[in-house]
Each structure stands twice: as structure tokens, then as C-alpha cells.
A = this chain, B = another copy of it.
Amino acid sequence: MPNPDALIETHAPLLAQARDAARSRTYFAAFAESPSTRIWGEAAPTDGRAAFDDLLHQTFPIQTPGAHGLIAPEVPPYGMPLDISYPHLHADGVDELVSAAKHAMPAWRDAGPELRTAIGIEILTRINARSFEFAHAVMHTTGQAFVMAFQAGGAHAHERGLEAIAYAYDAMMQVPASVTWEKARGKGEPQRVAKTYTIVPRGVALVIGCSTFPTWNSYPGLFASLVTGNPVIVKPHPHAVLPLAMTVGVARDVLIEYGFDPNLIALAVDGAGETLASNLATHPDVRVIDYTGSTSYGEWLEANALQARVFTEKAGVNCVVLDSTDDLKGMAANLAYSLSLYSGQMCTTPQTIFIPRAGIDTDTGHATVADIVSAVGTALDDLLGDPARAVNMLGAIVNDAVLHRLDDASNAGDVLIKSRAIEHPEFPAARVRTPLVVRADADATAYNHECFGPIAFVVETEDTAHSLDAWRRIVSASGSLTASVYSTDDDVLAAAHNIALDTGVSMSSNLTADTYVNQTVAFSDYHGTGANAAANATLTDLAFVADRFRIVETRRPQ
């Protein structure tokens, strides 16, 4: 067995850097985000592809206690069948799985925070070493383009995992393992009590993955739960199993190597329409749940999994308020990028754009609503004119529901910018679509709820005050993960800042270059605030980690 102390020592420098970065919130990256062969070596892309290919049309090599039979539930967005089978967990196997996880818990608790943390980092670094293989897995389950799958599904997910580990370690380290407490008595020897404080897990943790960001959205909860001592059951979305199956596989290998029960992490796969997530979520021994997905199911979990601490990221309506700009072209290009990236299939993509009816002041003079739409249209053409480049930006539509929603919006709305279909040069079966922009009335409800996919609404308002008010009402009612404001007026920016604080939404202002409202950076940007209906938690803050473990004190007089 490899030496646990050596592992702790190996990862100590990275852990220290990550902790510092999480506190300072300045730039830090532990992992390379570029798939360049200068970083990874000439063979890496081919080797990664070959490793991925080896997984296809096979039974995925993993054991899940309680599972019986196999299931291959994935529906590939690029039309390339994965045809990978996984152990199928049914409702009747939940007790056995949870029981296996519980059985593994005491030894993991007794391993202590240092070793658990080092093992968490070891798992992440081994996953990172297989970034190309993972990128293909993310691409062909989510529809992300390859480079995005490599970045958002790879390095950026690993950063988010490491960030969560750093936070969890920090929180655990704030509790000393033991002290001798000493209080002076009036006379004689002081009163002395020897005390120990042990970090104990809450119980079995459940991570419920989503179909669009199986790694990025799952890693924070997964690693935070694991290093704080909780066994983790990973329940992927049926359409995006592979990246999480690979994750669980790596983690189980590392756990076995260091002498732990591999059932400290397990894969729980079911098919679309089955109820496994609910069966697991309401099991009395499941005590932590991380969930990303629909508002309705997130709220169901919050109301029904009362035995667990439930962290949810749900849907929201992200707004853009245009008041004025000193860089119309930059603003249009920035918006076009945010609307296009992964076909708007990000929970952070802007959806509802408020523009005063009379238009706005810009560096090139007054711009009417039509001028602004035209500038965004031009920027979209620049970005997406070349199909080969366009598909690298857009990726593929993740499922039929998004496609139908897009078609419905195209037919129903007052279309300002049409959505175009693009043929994917490599994967002709992939559904690739450019963003649709439609006009909505200020009093319409169309733009008030999340309309997931490449669909944006332009809403004409009386003036900026009206825009701000409409924005405030949407965030208060529906929640948002992001907001974007463009203004050259400090008073408007101050008013917007206040609305952001009141409604609890992250706000970016005057993004005109290469910072995009739909992207957050680990160690510096928080993802979600937990302060509005879009999420009850943040990636990552202390509140996201501090309640995943408890402290048990024992004391004896000395």
C-alpha cells in the first residue's frame, strides 16, 4: 500500500495554494485549461481518444452494490452512440447500496481530515491526467464542443472540485483535534480538562448530476462531501452517465490503493422516467444531497428530503439591462458570445434583455433598439458565420426538449434574430442551432420563466428605471444566477448594484471584452448566491461545506 503520509506531503503545496486562493479570491489555476500538446505532449490527444473509444460498446467496469442487470441510458447529442452499459440500480437495491456506504464510513472518518483531503486531491489530479478522455466523454453526453468539454468539463471542473476541497479542509482545520482546557481555581491546582474534537460525517451523501455539466456541477458537492467524511453515492442524469462513471471509477481505484472500502463512492444509474433519485434522496441514512437541475425537482427535494441537508441549483431567469455604453460593438460581441456559447444551454446564459424603447446612448451616437439588435446580429454572424468555428462555439443541442422549445419560440414570437441550423462537419446527426432572439412585451410572461436553450428575449421598456424595476421583479419572483448591466452612468450602476444586493444576484457590468457573464472562475467568482430562488447554495463558500460534517467532543478531567 502506498504511504498515506507521503500522499499528504505530495499534495500539501497545492492544498496550501488553493486555500490561499480561496481566501484572497485573486487569480489561481491549478490545472491547465488548454488542450495544447505543448502542455500535454504530442500523444495525449490520440491516447485520450483511444482510451475513450475503448469504453464504447462495452459494459463499464464498475461494481454497484444492490444493482442488478445493466442499463445503457445515454442518448448521444452528436449522434455517435456510446452504447455503454452500467450496473442498473432499482428501488429494491437502494437499501443495500446505502448500507454498503454506511459500512465504509467509520474507517473513512477515522482516517482524519488530512488523509481524506489528500485522497480527494489525488482523485482530482488523476482525473485531470485523463483530461482528453474525459473531454470526449463530456462532449458526447452533453453536446458541449470539444474544447469547452475539455475546459468546462475538465480543468474548470477540477478547479471547482479543488476549491471545494480547500474550503472543506479549511473549515475542518478550524477545529483543533484536542486541547487541555485550564481554568484557575481560587486556590490550589487549576481545573484541567482534556478535550478531543472529532470531525464526523453527517452520513451518506448523494450527488444528483445534470445532463449539461455532469462534472462541473457535481464536483464541488462530491469532493466536499467526500473529504469531510461522508460516503458519496453519485446518481448521474441518465443522459450523462459516462463522465461521472469515470469519476467514480478513478475515485474507487484510489480508495482501494490506500486501503479503504471502494464503496465510499458508488455509481447509481437508472433510466429516464425511473425514480431512483427520489428513492435515494428520501432514504433515512442519506444526510447530504447536492442537486443541479429543474426548479420543480429541486423544490421537491427541499420539501421531501427533510432528513438531509439539501443543496440545490435550480433554474432562473438571467437578465441584461442596457442603459448606455461606450463600446457598442464590444457590448454586442460580448452578448453574442454569451448567447452562443454551448447554444445558451448554461444556467448562467442571459435570457431577458431590457432596452429602453427610445434606445440608448453609445460611443457611436444614439442607438435605437433596432440598431442594437442589428449590432448583436452582426456580432453573431461574425462569431458563427463559419460552420467549423460555429460548431466549436455552439456545440450541439442536448436533447429534443430544447429543440422543440426553440422551434416553438421561433414560431410563436416576434423574431428579431432567426435561429439557423448548421450542419456539423464531423457529426452530421448533431443538432446545431444559432441563437434565436425574439421580442417580448414588457407585460408578457414569456420572458419571466427560464426558457432553457438558445433563446433570448428583447423587452422594450419605458426607460432604464422601468428596466431596473422589471429586472428586480424577475429576480425576486423567479431567481437568477447572473445579471448583466451596461451603463456609463454611475447612478444607474449604483442603483443596479443595490438591486443586486436586494435580490441576491451576482451582477457583471459593462462586459465588452473577454469576460462573459455566463462564465465564473473558481477561487474568485461565486457561482450562485443562495439568496434567490435559482439556488439555495453557492459554489463555493463556507456555508457550502461547513454543514457537511459535525464535531463530536469528548472530555475527561486531568
Chain A residues proximal to chain B, CB less than 8 Å: 23-27, 106, 109, 171, 174-176, 179-183, 191, 193, 195, 197-198, 200, 202, 302-303, 306, 497-498, 500-502, 504-515, 521, 524-526, 529-531, 538, 541-543, 546-547, 550-557
Contacts and interface: CB of A to CB of B under 8 A. Distances in A.
A325 to B, nearest CB: 13
Given A171-B542, A193-B515, A552 B506 contact: yes
B25 A557 contact: no
Contacts of A514: 191
A541 B182 contact: no
Contacts of A181: 25-27, 521, 524
Nearest to A180: B26
Given A171-B542, A514-B191, A552 B198 contact: no
Contact of A554 (B180, B193, B509, B551): B509
A554 B500 contact: yes
Contacts of A498: 106
A553 B525 contact: yes
A200 B504 contact: yes
A260 to B, nearest CB: 17
A538 B174 CA distance: 15
Given A183-B27, A303-B306, A541-B175, A551 B524 contact: no
Q: Copy number in this complex?
A: 2
A502 B106 contact: yes
Given A26-B182, A27-B183, A106-B498, 8 more contacts: A25-B175, A191-B513, A200-B504, A504-B552, A508-B554, A509-B555, A509-B556, A515-B555
A275 to B, nearest CB: 21
A554 B497 contact: yes
A113 to B, nearest CB: 14
A554 B506 contact: yes
A103 to B, nearest CB: 12
Nearest to A510: B556
Contacts of A554: 497, 500, 506-509
A530 B512 contact: no
Contact of A550 (B176, B529, B555): B529
B557 A547 contact: no
Contacts of A501: 106, 109, 198, 200, 552
B550 A515 contact: no
B525 A550 contact: no
A556 B484 CA distance: 10
Across the A-B interface, the 8 shortest Cβ-Cβ residue pairs: A531-B550, A542-B546, A543-B547, A543-B546, A509-B556, A546-B546, A507-B554, A506-B553
A368 to B, nearest CB: 26
19 contacts: A24-B179, A25-B197, A26-B182, A183-B521, A191-B514, A195-B525, A508-B556, A509-B555, A510-B557, A515-B555, A525-B555, A526-B551, A529-B550, A531-B552, A538-B551, A541-B546, A543-B543, A546-B547, A547-B547
A74 B502 CA distance: 39
A521 B180 CA distance: 13
A200 B181 CA distance: 36
Give the residue among A508, A521, A552, A557 with the most B Cβ atoms within 10 A.
Answer: A552
Given A195-B524, A524-B195, A542-B546, A505 B25 contact: no
B197 A504 contact: no
A195 to B, nearest CB: 7
Give the residue among A23, A501, A505 with the most B Cβ atoms within 10 A.
Answer: A501
Contacts of A176: 23-25
Given A303-B306, A306-B302, A542-B546, A26 B551 contact: no
A202 B306 contact: no
Contact of A23 (B174, B513, B557): B174
Contacts of A546: 541-543, 546-547
A543 B508 CA distance: 29
Contacts of A182: 26-27
B557 A512 contact: yes
Nearest to A27: B183
Contacts of A109: 501
Given A26-B182, A191-B515, A515-B557, A530 B550 contact: yes
Nearest to A167: B174
Contacts of A557: 510-513, 515
Contacts of A526: 197, 551, 553
A208 B426 CA distance: 63
A322 B202 CA distance: 29
